[in-house]
Amino acid sequence: MTLEILSETPVNVHQLKEMLDKIKKRDKELNFRAAKTEEHINHLDTYKNTEELFTKIEKLNISRLRAQHIHKIIDVMPATIKDLKLILQGYTISLNNENMKKIVDAVNAFIGKK
């Protein structure tokens, strides 16, 4: 039996947690990998309503910033430009300080509201 990947969509930890909850309700039990994933993400701090932050960062219209970058930013929640640089160094993306400041301000505003 050959499995075929139909599509790939980046998600953040909060969305993954919601997906695992739906699977658990549907199947009553998670398979081994899903259970290990759930065990790992239960140790992480996650924020609710991350869609709000995703939309806010997306509306900044930073040309090179893609969904996968935004989800990683939401997973880590960088409070400073230095933290944001550390997150983005794993990608082939370079942002100017003005755009990084906008992102960090959006994250800090989101964290401050929660």
User: What are the pLDDT digits (tens) for 40-58?
Assistant: 888 777 777 888 999 999 9
What Rg value do the Cα atoms of the chain yield, rounded?
Answer: 16
* Helices and strands (DSSP H and E) totals, the chain: 6, 0
Residue 6 pLDDT more than 70? yes
- Rounded to two decimals, the pTM is 0.78
In this predicted structure, what is the pLDDT of residue 114? 57
The SS3 assignment for 59 reads coil
* Dihedral class, residue 77 (left if φ above 0, else alpha if ψ from -120 to 50, else beta): left
Spans of all domains in the chain: 11-46, 50-113
Secondary structure, 3-state, 95-110: CCHHHHHHHHHHHHHH
Q: How far apart are CA 80 and CA 44, in angstroms?
A: 20
pLDDT bin (cut points 50, 70, 90) of residue 108 is very high
